Amino acid sequence: MKTKYTKMHSNGNEFLITEDIKQTANTKKLADKKNGIGFDQLLCIKNKKPYEVLVFNSDGSEADNCINGLRCIAFLYSLNNEAVYIKDKKFVVRSTESGAEVSGAFPVVNKKNNYYVINFGNNHIAREYPDIEIINLESEYIKLRSSKEFEEIKNFNLSIYKNSKNNIAIRTYENGTGETLSCGSATISVAYALLKDTNKNELLFASKGGKTKVLIDNESITSKANAVILKEGFLHG
């Protein structure tokens, strides 16, 4: 039996999108860049009324959130002010000509020494550095994973950023995947941590994959970025 898939990216963050839930068991094999299709996360459309999405990292583990993935789904299905759920977390998506907007409830932010600790459905740890390009992000992630200071925070993503007049350069190491060219939930998490104590309501982020605009109002936080269809094909089995 063949089932259709679509491979997409948002700011270089790559996804395989399928409606065949059986393919979630094959995530690790399909994600292999040499022998499979190659992607950062697999997105499975579980239901459409309302939309429910399952997210699996390239190592086969299930993820709790994926903003760039929701952006791609919104663009692919031309969704407009549609509710989409990942587990029990609700988002509202709006497709645009070149991408999509994703809105959600505010993250929960705490400060621990020099780090922000943020929950946005998934866990994030973030810290500002004067030069993010010289940091070995994988080594920093491994160090924090094994530290007693953060032992109670499970399956977190690590972001490092540099704030220059509200233009934020950011890199993210994602749990279960590694460093990606962009991470939507990390961008929103860092944005809220920086915006919540200021009078500003907008920030622009630049990752290795591209730019994301984040806006905050009284009720929600929204990210805007591109979404691109890379290819379509069929999965067997």
Tell me which residues are annotated as active site: 66
The three-class DSSP label of residue 207 is strand
| Segment (H or E) for 44 | strand 41-48
Residue pair 122/64 in contact (Cβ under 8 Å)? The answer is yes
**Residue 199 gets which letter from DSSP?**
S
User: What single letter denotes the amino acid at residue 208?
Assistant: K
- 182 to 33, 55, 99, 159: CA distances (angstroms): 18, 16, 15, 10
Q: Give CA angle at 82 (212, 57), nearest 5°.
A: 55
The three-class DSSP label of residue 137 is helix
Report d(CA 135, CA 133) in Å as an integer. 6
- What per-residue string of b and e applies to 128-149 under the rule 16 or more CB within 10 Å gives b? beeebeeeebeebbeebbeeee
Peptide bond into 130 cis (omega under 30): no
